[in-house]
Amino acid sequence: MTYDVTLIPGDGIGPEITDQTVKVLEATGLRFNWDEELAGVSAVEATGTPLPDATVESIRKNAVALKGPLTTPVGTGFRSVNVGLRKEFELYANIRPAKTILPGGRFENVDIVLVRENLEGLYIGVEHFVQIGDDPRAVGESMAIVTRAGCERIVRYAFEYALKHHRGKVTIVHKANILKMVSGLFLEVGREIAQEYAGRVESNDMIVDNTAMQLVLRPEQFDVMVTTNMFGDILSDEVSGLVGGLGLAPGANVGTKAAIFEAVHGSAPDIAGKGVANPSAQMLAAAMMLDHLGELECADRIRRAVVDTIVADGIRTRDLGGTASTEEFGRAVARRAA
Ligand code: NAI
Ligand code: MG
């Protein structure tokens, strides 16, 4: 079987880390039919638009994409392509696993998967200023929209993820004590769905501010976590921080029409083109893509190859204190993944 996948190398270090990631994916023995497409600044330079129709069409056809980071111009310029893709393909679930890789850090046993609702809540961006007297910006007003259907599908996604990946517990994170409707609805639906999985997946719920503290004090108590958009945005970065920052963090954006896999970090313009970027996060994102395709064994093999290359072989890129180039690291991981 050959998998049709849209490949977007992206900007900055994107092409370098994507090259090595493709090498590792192919080393597993799986076969891919890569449809390489442009997005971001590289797309603007080549076609005049940051998200060409051909890219959107390719993702629509394949329903699976592996994407490099895209540079977003600050202030002026085009809107975020990442947000555009999220809307276009209704990518309602953002999944961020965080697992301790390097020993000797602050936490030894972190293994958390955070599932964030990606389309609703305060981030829908329905906001305006209210004029008072002659001050046109006297009051800022914003609306959070949370739907029962949206809560259901994200919570269900989290429980199904737990089942598929043999994880024992889902924690529902909310602020229903204060936000009785928008967060109250999420908690109510969350508890209903938790009932359906009783006996198969354990669950509990926790208020978001306490969760932020518990993550720092006792992160081992968490397994899968599920929460609404803004809480998830904040907690997912906190969770990455627990295991040493964004350098090793992969992510997935999954929707009804497509799933897009990428590293959490950006295009790292400061080191682009130098051949020193760490491709680990992109490789771990590729492993999540294989999970999604049902290739669980190959996915695990890639994860193990990355960890063993870093920990057992001590082959590390500069950001992890080593001297390996992107290519040397990639070659080492590919050897182990084969
Ligand atoms: P960044 O993540 O690109 O870089 C932050 C720091 O981490 C830099 O010092 C960089 O050299 C280092 N770094 C990042 N990834 C690395 C890797 N794989 N190996 C070694 N070092 C690495 O964040 P920054 O500088 O805020 O953003 C740069 C550009 O990336 C911006 O245009 C931003 O909009 C875009 N961006 C895109 C994302 C995406 O497409 N998913 C996500 C985050 C940022
Ligand atoms: Mg964020």
How would you write 170-198 as a 3-class SS string?
Answer: EEEEECCCCCCCHHHHHHHHHHHHHHHCC
What pLDDT does 243 receive?
Answer: 87
Atom number in ligand 1 closest to CA 10: 40
Whether 248 is covered by a domain: the verdict is no
CA of 337 to the centre of ligand 2 (A): 31
Nearest CA to ligand 1 atom 13: 268
Residue type (1 letter), 322? G
Statement to judge: residues 132 and 186 lie in one domain: yes
Residue 237 Cβ inside 6 Å of ligand 1? The answer reads no
What pLDDT does 241 receive?
Answer: 87
Statement to judge: residues 44 and 125 lie in one domain: no
Whether 97 is covered by a domain: the verdict is no
Statement to judge: residues 31 and 82 lie in one domain: yes
What pLDDT does 75 receive?
Answer: 58
CA distances from 238 to 95, 123, 204, 216, 245 (A): 14, 19, 20, 9, 9
Statement to judge: residues 211 and 264 lie in one domain: no
Whether 322 is covered by a domain: the verdict is yes
End position of a domain, from candidates 214, 243, 272: 243
Structural tokens at position 290: 């294989």
Range of the domain at 265: 1-89+257-338
pTM: 0.93
Whether 273 is covered by a domain: the verdict is yes
Statement to judge: residues 291 and 264 lie in one domain: yes
What pLDDT does 74 receive?
Answer: 66
End position of a domain, from candidates 193, 208, 243: 243
What pLDDT does 258 receive?
Answer: 97
Counting the structural domains of the chain, the total is 2
Statement to judge: residues 122 and 31 lie in one domain: no
User: Which bin fits 281, alpha (ψ -120 to 50), beta or left (φ > 0)?
Assistant: alpha
Statement to judge: residues 219 and 144 lie in one domain: yes
Residue 71 Cβ inside 6 Å of ligand 1? The answer reads yes
Atom number in ligand 1 closest to CA 270: 11
End position of a domain, from candidates 189, 209, 243: 243
What pLDDT does 224 receive?
Answer: 98
CATH number of the domain at 84, please: 3.40.718.10
Whether 113 is covered by a domain: the verdict is yes
Run means of pLDDT, 10 residues per run, the chain, 338 residues: 96 98 98 97 91 96 97 71 89 95 79 96 90 97 96 98 95 97 97 98 98 97 98 93 83 96 94 97 98 95 96 94 96 98
Statement to judge: residues 81 and 127 lie in one domain: no
CA of 275 to the centre of ligand 1 (A): 15
Statement to judge: residues 111 and 71 lie in one domain: no
Statement to judge: residues 143 and 206 lie in one domain: yes
Whether 209 is covered by a domain: the verdict is yes
Statement to judge: residues 217 and 131 lie in one domain: yes
Q: What's the full length of the chain, in residues?
A: 338
What pLDDT does 13 receive?
Answer: 97
What pLDDT does 83 receive?
Answer: 81
Whether 95 is covered by a domain: the verdict is no
Nearest CA to ligand 1 atom 32: 71
Upper half-sphere CA count for residue 297 (Cβ side, 13 Å): 4
Whether 134 is covered by a domain: the verdict is yes
Statement to judge: residues 48 and 112 lie in one domain: no
CA of 294 to the centre of ligand 1 (A): 30
